[in-house]
Every structure is written in structure tokens, then in C-alpha cells.
Structure 1
């Protein structure tokens, strides 16, 4: 951690502590029912009990597996589709309306169909997750390939580079920051897709646990699960940032 980042991190932690203290004080002063808004102390107790007893771990493991499978499938297809559409204008004009139409349909509305096609369990959730994280990476890859500097393209043409050489040695390296930005967005949305998919199509997972806590009117448990989801999202996002720095490191050394 750089020295100038330390005060910012401390300030962020102090802000979080202040918000939690204000939340706790408001719950106790106003005597709010724990059913409506539990105090942070009750949420922390429920979180600790769930982790210590092992109750949360199978659900957390299921969500992580669904997330990884969905991100791998969706981002792989999205990246390849972005390259294909970026390199072939005819295909782009032909298929892009259908791609956009597939994205504007709410995935929650498709969940019952996925359950019918793939059955209950992990498969429908993985499909929903893949569909949600497909579009950001495809769109960013497509845009990045189209925004290469014209003078660089002309230089490669003068040097006699093939289309494949231009793609792998110029377009993809130049567009890598934009592509990785799409990956960051895709990963965050993928977690949303996994949790939403579990609302309908799963009996295990953090999303299913939210529905179960709602059914038992255990608001403290629901908040504890939401905390777990937030922590998982932040962890995955930070892992994506580390991957981005590693991939961009050769380019930063040469500039």
C-alpha cells in the first residue's frame, strides 16, 4: 500500500464505523423492531453464528461455484463474440439487433424457462449468470477493436500484416484496458445474476438463503447474508483488479 493511500483507507474505515454506530444508536433510541431493522450488533451476531456453526459455508460454496462457472462461460463467449463482431462488419449488422434484444429481456423473467429446460439446481443459475456477464465484455471488446488509431492500422497495412496479425499484435493489446474494464463490470453483474438466479431456481446458495430467511421472518439473518454477498462481491472485484494489473504490467513497463 502506498503511503498516501493510508489516510484514505483509514478515513473509509472511520466512515464505516460512524455509519454503523449511528445505525445502532438509531435502532436503540427509536426502539425499532428487529423485524423491521435489526441493529448491527444483531446482524454481527447472526453472521458469526452462521459462520462458526458452518451453516453459511455450503451456501457460500454453491454461490462461488455458480459465479465462477457463469463468469467463465459468459466472459469466454462474450470475448469471442466481441472479436467476431468487431472483425466482421456484415455479421455485426446482421446479429447485433438480436444480441441487444436478448439483453433487454429481464433475466428474472427467463428464469422459469431455464428451470423448465435445465431443471432445478445449479444449471439454471449458471446460465442466468453467463447471460448477464456476456454483454458487458462483448460490448467493450467490440468497441475496443473499433477504436484503434487509424495511423497504427495504416502502419500495419504498409508492413504487410495479415488480419490475424493486426488483431493479435495491435487491436487486442491496444484495447486491453477497455476489455478489462468490461470484465470488471461483468464480474460484478455476474454475482447479481447468481443471487437472483438462486431466488427462483435453487435450494442452496446465498440467494436461496435470503428467500429462506424472508420466509422465517429472520431479518437479522437476511442482513447477515447480504453482508456476505457484499464481501464476496468486493473480494471478486479486487481479484479482477489484480488480474488487470498483472495483464497490463508488460505494457506499463514499456511506456
Structure 2
């Protein structure tokens, strides 16, 4: 299939499915299949979503959740990336920490949140830390895999060229493992939005989690759906932004690998 046609199919297929599902949803509600108090029609939800964005607090609360998610993602990146590199390169660190890192995933975020509130208090900091905990594991795993995937012959060529550890990391390993790292960040940043909402549920806050609580207490189904739509839109926007960076990094990584492989081949031939 031609690349342009393939891209068009990737865009058209999910749009067509969405149109079919929304049309069936609209028909089901309008035909009396379910009361709108339990499941509003898509047209009513679109109207309410626009009203909440234009005149309500939805955008303000979304901004708070976005800040919490970004702060948490930043903390996760600062911890997961160096640790993932060390786990991949240093055997005793890998053997020592892997069981504890794996075991940490058995503890749900909703169980950690009350402890953070007890230890730290309320506000942005504990919610951001909870987001970091949620986003940490996929970043660590993909960083470790990305480091291990760097070809040994490329590293040897860099050392033969006289590159030290820092130069090898910045100019060789960094570009080659960046696509994998960004894959983990892409997954983590989407999960951090969920972590922010969980944190607001349990530790308070002024983000979308608080808005969901208010609409729930008021039995406002349309408000709940409008907030959920904003959550989905926020996660998709962050996911897509990192995906575009990942595509760009992937191209640069392939170019870097090609250059290093050519250099390695020439060096071997000269020898």
C-alpha cells in the first residue's frame, strides 16, 4: 500500500468507527432505549461540554490537572531514566533492585495516596508524587530495554574512536535509545493524568478530580461525561505530543546508527 494511502487509512478507520458508534449511541438514547439521566445523548454531551469550556470551570480545572501531571512526569523522568540506565549497565544494581521495583507495582496508587497525604500533606506536591509513582514503571522498563538494544559494535567503534563514557552516552547511546525512552514517557505521561485524578479524589485539589466529585454529588451525569471527555482529550493531547517527538527521535536515532555502523565498517576494513 502506498504510504499516503496507508496514512489516510489509519486516520479514516478510527474516525469511521467513531461516527458509527456515536450514531448508534445517539439513536439508542433518542429512541428511548435508556433514560438520558443515566446516559445522555452525544449531541447533549457536546453542547454541555462546549458550555462548560466557555462559561464553566472545566478549562480552569483541566489546567490544574495538566500541571500536576506534567510535574509528576518530570519527577518520574528524573528518577526512572538514570535508574533504568544503571539497571541495564550495572549488574549488581540490576540484581539488587529488580525484585523491589517489580514488587512496587503490586501496590495500587489509591492505597499510596493516603500515606502521601499523611506524610506530606495536601496540595500539588503529593499529587505530583503520586503521578510520578504511576508513570515511573513504564519509563524505567523502556529505558532499560533501549540501553540494552544499543549494538555492541557501535559502542566498540565509539571507544576505538577515543570517546569516553560521557561522550559515548551523549553522542552514541543517547540518540539510539531515545526512541525507546520516549515510548516509556508517552505511556507514563498518559498514566500521570489518571494519577492526578486519583490523587485529587483522595487528597483533594482543584483539578478535574474535584470536578468529578462535585458532579457526582449533584447527580449531574452530563457534567460527569463532559469532565471525562476533557480527561480523555488531555491524555490524548499529551500522548500525541510525545509520539511526534518519538517519531522525530526515531529518525535521528536511525541516522546516528547508520553513521556509526559505517564508521565501524570502515575502521574494521582499515584494520
Determine if the TM-score, normalized by the shorter chain, exceeds 0.5: yes
1:229-240 maps to which residues of 2 (within 5 A)? Answer: 229-240=231-242
1:1-255 maps to which residues of 2 (within 5 A)? Answer: 3-4=4-5, 5-159=7-161, 161-252=163-254, 255=258
Following the alignment from structure 1 to structure 2, what is the Cα–Cα distance between the partners of residues 204 and 44?
23
User: Greater CA deviation, 236-245 or 164-173?
Assistant: 164-173
Q: Displacement of 1:86 after TM fit?
A: 2.2
Q: Displacement of 1:115 after TM fit?
A: 1.1
Does structure 2 conserve the Cα–Cα contact (< 8 Å) formed by 1:122 and 1:202?
no
Q: Displacement of 1:182 after TM fit?
A: 1.2
- What are the Cα deviations for residues 35-69 of structure 1, in whole angstroms up to 9, with x where unaligned? 32111122112212211113212211100110111
Q: Residues 10 and 149 (structure 1 numbering): CA distance in 2 closer, same or farther, change over 3 Å?
A: closer
Following the alignment from structure 1 to structure 2, what is the Cα–Cα distance between the partners of residues 250 and 151?
19
Following the alignment from structure 2 to structure 1, what is the Cα–Cα distance between the partners of residues 141 and 39?
40
Does structure 2 conserve the Cα–Cα contact (< 8 Å) formed by 1:23 and 1:40?
yes
RMSD: 2.1
Q: Identify unmatched segments of 5+ residues in structure 2.
A: 259-271
Q: Residues 160 and 8 (structure 1 numbering): CA distance in 2 closer, same or farther, change over 3 Å?
A: closer
Q: Residues 134 and 11 (structure 1 numbering): CA distance in 2 closer, same or farther, change over 3 Å?
A: closer
TM-score normalised to the size of structure 1? 0.90
Does structure 2 conserve the Cα–Cα contact (< 8 Å) formed by 1:75 and 1:186?
no
Does structure 2 conserve the Cα–Cα contact (< 8 Å) formed by 1:23 and 1:39?
yes
Following the alignment from structure 1 to structure 2, what is the Cα–Cα distance between the partners of residues 129 and 171?
28
TM-score normalised to the size of structure 2? 0.85
Q: Identify unmatched segments of 5+ residues in structure 1.
A: none
Following the alignment from structure 1 to structure 2, what is the Cα–Cα distance between the partners of residues 171 and 165?
9
Q: Displacement of 1:125 after TM fit?
A: 1.2
Q: Displacement of 1:180 after TM fit?
A: 1.6
